[in-house]
Amino acid sequence: MRFMTWNCRVGGFRTKSEYVSPFRPDVLVVQEVSPADDVLLYAGEAQPTYTDRPPYRPTPPRAMGVFSYTDIQLASVDDPTDPREGEDEYRHLFRRYAAERGDLKFHVAAVWTAWTKNPKEAYRQAHRGLEHHADWILERPTVILGDLNDNASFKGTRWKDFMELLRPLGYVSAYHVSCGETFGAETRATHYFRGDRTRTFHIDYCFIPEVWKDQITATQVGSYDDWHKISDHVPLIVDVEL
């Protein structure tokens, strides 16, 4: 099973998709996706078998999309037409999916933390998602995948608060357990701020149940040279034998 997350930067996924289709991800989470209701064909050697790009009203030109390029069955759990905002803004950027392939059933939480109108809540959509949906996460094995815009080396309490919510659920970062690295000391960046290869950060993650960690078969982080012309993020790809 291949999980992939990538911030495509300022829309354009319909044309940039040619760069991800060769990887044939089972579950692909993409941030900053432009409206896709009128997209008939995506660029690339293969078309996605599943697409879901719900509206996000505070920033309609950019939202989060979930895709697949395989036969996995995905279904959105949340109602994309629910107009609530304010405290419920987290729901647009912490989106839940049921996943199924044969006898295997699990959940996917697609995440993109972003700035909010309330500075105290900025970049905390993942926190709110864990707080509100802990029971749902524990119902089935869940993959929490996306751009958290955070790192243990950053100043403040956001990362500490996030880990305090995540740890009791029994989840680990696939990158960190497979590469043997610690949070805040990553050797491979997933974000090059505004395309500057000297300003590097690891802010994209794939969290999996701890009981799956020995089933990770590969972890890939894209290179700056391959991706910098199309985005200031590179993809994170995790393969798990399920």
pLDDT for res 86: 47
Distance from C-alpha of 146 to C-alpha of 125, rounded to nearest angstrom: 11
Query: pLDDT digit string (tens) for 84-139?
Result: 544 556 778 999 999 999 999 999 999 999 888 788 888 999 999 999 999 999 99
Q: Which segment of 30-39, 98-107, 216-225 scores lowest on mean pLDDT?
A: 30-39
Residue 157 structure tokens: 């309490």
Query: pLDDT digit string (tens) for 224-238?
Result: 999 999 999 999 999
Q: List domains and CATH numbers for the chain.
A: 2-240 (3.60.10.10)
Residue 10 has pLDDT above 90, yes or no: no
Q: Which residue has the tokens 């199309």?
A: 230
- List of residues 6+ apart from 1 with CB closer than 8 A: 26, 27, 72, 101, 239, 240, 241, 242
pTM equals 0.95
Query: pLDDT digit string (tens) for 193-217?
Result: 999 999 999 999 999 999 999 999 9
Contact 216, 238 (CB under 8 A): yes
The conformation of residue 26, written as its DSSP 8-state character, comes to S
Residue 67 structure tokens: 């895709």
Helices (H) and strands (E) in the chain, counts: 6, 14
Q: In this structure, what is the dihedral angle of CA atoms 97, 68, 191, 213, given to the nearest 10 degrees?
A: 70
Residue 213's φ and ψ, nearest 5 degrees, are -60, -30
Residue type, 131: E
Q: How confident is the model at residue 37 (pLDDT cuts 50, 70, 90)?
A: confident
Collapse the DSSP code of 181 into the 3-class scheme (helix H, G, I; strand E, B; otherwise coil) and give the result: coil
Residue 58 has pLDDT above 80, yes or no: no
- Sheet of strand 2-7: strand arrangement: 50-52, 63-68, 27-33, 2-7, 236-240, 216-221
Q: How confident is the model at residue 242 (pLDDT cuts 50, 70, 90)?
A: very high
Residue type, 11: G
pLDDT for res 61: 74
